[in-house]
Amino acid sequence: MAIVGLERDRGRLEVARKHYGATPLVDGVRDWANSVDGLGADGAIDAAGVSATLKLAMDVVRPGGWISKVGWGPQPLNFSLDPLVQKNITLQGSFSHNWPIWERIIRLLSTGQLDVKPIIGGVWPLEQWHEAFEKMHTGEIPKAVLKP
């Protein structure tokens, strides 16, 4: 499993490597995806929030693979979706803000199957939301917790 990000994400990518076993990639995504048999990755989760990353996902996913699009990309695509057809890729949107998903996450957290402690960079009072968001935006911390 690999996790892909920008240069400014190196700290967050390192957390994914150390605590979750992911291979961090800033460059060489296509080489990594093709390293096993030259066909690409089985699947990709696009959670970046920009439309251009969908193109990268289509490029690196193997024929018959899948893409789950989580991140919202308000920009126009400006590229063809034909590789989805050519490679028979399954594209599915994933809207995570619904009750069944939250129930699953709560269950994973309560059983210890999902440990989010490594990604929590701090806890801020709600009034200091801007500081917390800035720390996430700059990559200083992966995630912040806001408390009322």
> What does the pLDDT look like over 106-124, one tens digit per residue?
999 999 999 999 999 999 9
Model pTM score: 0.79
For the residues 15-25, what does the mean pLDDT come to?
Answer: 89
Closest CA to 147 of 130, 117, 123: 123
Amino acid at 28: G
> Residue 113 class from Cβ within 10 Å (0-12 exposed, 13-18 middle, 19+ buried)?
exposed
Residue 77, pLDDT score: 87
* pLDDT tops 90 at residue 132: yes
Task: Dump the DSSP string for 45-114.
Answer: EE-SSSTHHHHHHHHHEEEEEEEEE-S---S---S--HHHHHTT-EEEE----SHHHHHHHHHHHHHTSS
* pLDDT tops 90 at residue 88: yes
Which residues lie below 8 Å from residue 117, measured CB to CB, with a gap of 6+? none
Contact (Cβ atoms closer than 8 angstroms) between residue 21 and residue 1: yes
Contact (Cβ atoms closer than 8 angstroms) between residue 66 and residue 88: no
Spatial separation of the C-alpha atoms in residues 11 and 109, rounded to whole Å: 24
Residue 2, pLDDT score: 87
Q: How does the average pLDDT of the chain come out, rounded?
A: 91
Confidence grade of residue 48 (pLDDT, cut at 50, 70, 90) = confident
Residue 96, pLDDT score: 73
